[in-house]
């Protein structure tokens, strides 16, 4: 295998995808690690990202294209299949890459990683695809099979969403998940206005625009916001616009005592603290010590002194805190993440139907555990970055049936922007990824009766 410093873009793409498949590593985190480890040149990062994410997003479609050409092949090693996937992805979806370059690189990688026999096999498969063309997806008769293969979503997930949203909406969700996510950030308005930051970033060559949904959001057009001086100085936080709406629904007031029950990596805790203008207290809990460190790092970077982060299972919060001691509680619960598939495409393949059921039970348990800690007339916000009813509407309904002291809070309509009003229903909102190009997100607002 090549020395890591000499590995080119496609070498690194194969290695990255291999680690994701073997170790179930998160694509977004691993990609950054691999870029540093293999010293990928700045000019090549965009192509590497495109190949890795694109191949992951369309993995089941690519396997469908390849299936007919691999029928006679004996057992194929995982890295060979990945090499074929990235090659077919480039042939079908990247017009700007010449086929001769794709073939040459694939054969070279096959020689380095394997032997002459494998390189001949790879060359043969790619030449056959070039000659015969890929299968026509429109000829798949069953509409669910066709949608599943065309958009590379597991059939069980497509079937589930069709039951919840209908076929047409599910098709839009699946198509949206294949699009590249935009980079958005939340401006730390305690330190600088949106307009001032846009002007400052523009002066340093970073192009941004105002966000669509949240008044404190900016959208990156050119340049990486996470690498800016503004980020390191705590003037902005990378966060999706849907996620920014959660703190608005919680609507914290100055000098309140607030619990963020599942807080890592700290995006919502810091937003709450910013909106309280540094007053009051935000208790931020997470199960894992290493994730608590992330919350503390965010708070330090943003110069927020009113966040107190600690490692604690939120299901045991009553052992630490007094009953009715919080004005507001946020449960941004662990979930399947089906709303962020465009950012983490591997979620589609690693999550299973039984995982959703287990998560729904965990979500109910967390809500049940923190409910006694809320003051009378206090607000409880439940949110997830998934679009699955079983983890969202069903969890809230089950909680309300078990806790007659809580009711839905329609004040959600007063704090959310006009653009999303049509999606608010019964004190809750479900944003789908195709509505605004943001992540899919669910937020419910509940109030403890006086």
For residue 239, name the pLDDT band (cuts at 50, 70, 90): very high
- Burial of residue 85, with CB atoms counted within 10 A of its CB: 0-12 exposed, 13-18 middle, 19 or more buried: buried
pLDDT of residue 110: 94
Which sign, positive or negative, has the C-alpha torsion 374, 242, 308, 191?
Answer: negative
pLDDT of residue 43: 83
* Rounded CA separation 351/144 (Å): 19
Q: The domain that contains 301 carries what CATH number?
A: 3.40.50.150
Same domain, 233 and 365: no
Same domain, 266 and 227: no
Same domain, 354 and 286: yes
Average pLDDT in the chain:
93
CB of 371 within 8 A of CB of 449? no
Q: State residue 248 phi and psi, 5-degree precision.
A: -65, -40
pLDDT, one tens digit per residue, over 137-174 is 999 999 999 999 999 999 999 999 999 999 999 999 99
Same domain, 343 and 234: no
For residue 7, name the pLDDT band (cuts at 50, 70, 90): confident
Among the candidates 134, 157, 192, a domain finishes at: 134
CB of 442 within 8 A of CB of 383? yes
Q: The domain that contains 189 carries what CATH number?
A: 3.30.70.1170
pTM metric for this prediction: 0.92
Same domain, 386 and 258: yes
Same domain, 93 and 21: yes
| Overall domain count for the chain | 4
Same domain, 198 and 233: yes
Among the candidates 176, 203, 226, a domain finishes at: 176
Residue 29 has pLDDT above 80, yes or no: no
Same domain, 312 and 438: yes
Same domain, 268 and 406: yes
Annotated active-site residue 262? The verdict is: no
Instruction: List 430's β-bridge partners, or say none.
Output: 442
The secondary structure element, H or E, covering residue 103 is: helix 99-113
CB of 242 within 8 A of CB of 274? no
Q: State residue 332 phi and psi, 5-degree precision.
A: -90, 85
Return the closest-CA partner of residue 207 out of 193, 192, 218, 215: 218
| Region 115-120 average pLDDT | 89
DSSP letter string, 293-320: HHHHHHHHHTT--SEEEEE--GGGGGGT
* Rounded CA separation 18/417 (Å): 43
* Rounded CA separation 214/66 (Å): 43
Q: Which of 174, 262, 335, 385 is catalytic?
A: 385
The conformation of residue 287, written as its DSSP 8-state character, comes to S
Same domain, 160 and 208: no
Same domain, 423 and 388: yes
Residue 74 vs residue 405, higher pLDDT: 405
pLDDT, one tens digit per residue, over 328-370 is 999 999 999 999 999 999 899 999 999 999 999 999 999 999 9
Helix 143-151 vs helix 59-67: angle between axes, to the nearest 10 degrees?
A: 110
Range of the domain at 430: 241-448
Same domain, 437 and 322: yes
| Region 373-379 average pLDDT | 97
Helix (H, G, I), strand (E, B) or coil at 251: coil
Q: The domain that contains 68 carries what CATH number?
A: 1.10.940.10
pLDDT, one tens digit per residue, over 241-286 is 999 999 999 999 999 999 999 999 999 999 999 999 989 999 999 9
Residue 73 has pLDDT above 80, yes or no: no
Tokens standing for residue 390 = 């079983």
- Burial of residue 272, with CB atoms counted within 10 A of its CB: 0-12 exposed, 13-18 middle, 19 or more buried: buried
The secondary structure element, H or E, covering residue 363 is: helix 353-370
């Amino acid at each position: 295998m090549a020395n890591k410093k000499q590995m080119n873009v496609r070498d690194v793409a194969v290695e990255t995808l291999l680690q994701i498949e073997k170790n179930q590593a998160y694509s977004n985190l691993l990609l950054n690690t691999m870029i540093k480890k293999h010293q990928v040149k700045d000019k090549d990062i965009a192509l590497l990202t495109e190949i890795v994410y694109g191949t992951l997003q369309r993995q089941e479609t690519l396997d469908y294209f390849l299936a007919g050409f691999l029928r006679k092949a004996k057992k194929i090693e995982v890295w060979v299949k990945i090499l074929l996937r990235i090659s077919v992805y480039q042939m079908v979806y990247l017009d700007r890459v010449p086929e001769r370059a794709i073939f040459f690189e694939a054969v070279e990688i096959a020689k380095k990683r394997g032997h002459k026999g494998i390189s001949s096999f790879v060359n043969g498969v790619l030449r056959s695809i070039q000659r015969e063309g890929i299968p026509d997806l429109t000829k798949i008769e069953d509409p669910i099979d066709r949608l599943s293969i065309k958009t590379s979503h597991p059939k069980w997930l497509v079937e589930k969403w069709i039951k919840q949203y209908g076929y047409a909406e599910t098709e839009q969700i699946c198509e949206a998940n294949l699009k590249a996510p935009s980079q958005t950030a939340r401006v730390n308005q305690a330190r600088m206005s949106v307009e001032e930051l846009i002007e400052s970033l523009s002066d340093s060559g970073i192009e941004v625009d105002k966000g669509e949904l949240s008044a404190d959001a900016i959208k990156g057009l050119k340049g990486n916001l996470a690498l800016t001086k503004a980020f390191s100085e705590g003037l902005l936080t990378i966060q999706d616009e849907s996620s920014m709406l959660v703190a608005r629904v919680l609507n914290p007031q100055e000098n309140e005592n607030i619990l963020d029950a599942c807080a890592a990596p700290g995006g919502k805790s810091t937003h709450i603290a910013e909106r309280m203008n540094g007053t009051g207290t935000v208790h931020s809990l997470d199960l894992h010590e290493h994730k608590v460190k992330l919350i503390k790092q965010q708070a330090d970077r943003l110069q927020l002194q009113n966040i107190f982060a600690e490692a604690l299972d939120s299901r045991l919060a009553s052992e630490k805190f007094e009953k009715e001691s919080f004005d507001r509680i946020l449960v941004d619960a662990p979930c399947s993440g089906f709303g962020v598939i465009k950012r983490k495409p591997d979620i589609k393949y690693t999550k299973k139907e039984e995982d959703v059921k287990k998560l729904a039970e965990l979500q109910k348990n967390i809500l049940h555990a923190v409910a006694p800690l809320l003051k009378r007339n206090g607000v409880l916000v439940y949110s997830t970055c998934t679009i699955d009813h079983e983890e969202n509407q069903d969890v809230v309904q089950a909680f309300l049936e078990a806790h007659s002291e809580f009711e839905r809070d329609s004040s959600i309509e007063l704090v959310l922007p006009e653009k999303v009003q049509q999606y608010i229903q019964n004190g809750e909102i479900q944003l789908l990824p195709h509505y605004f190009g943001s992540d899919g997100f669910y937020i419910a607002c509940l109030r403890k009766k006086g």
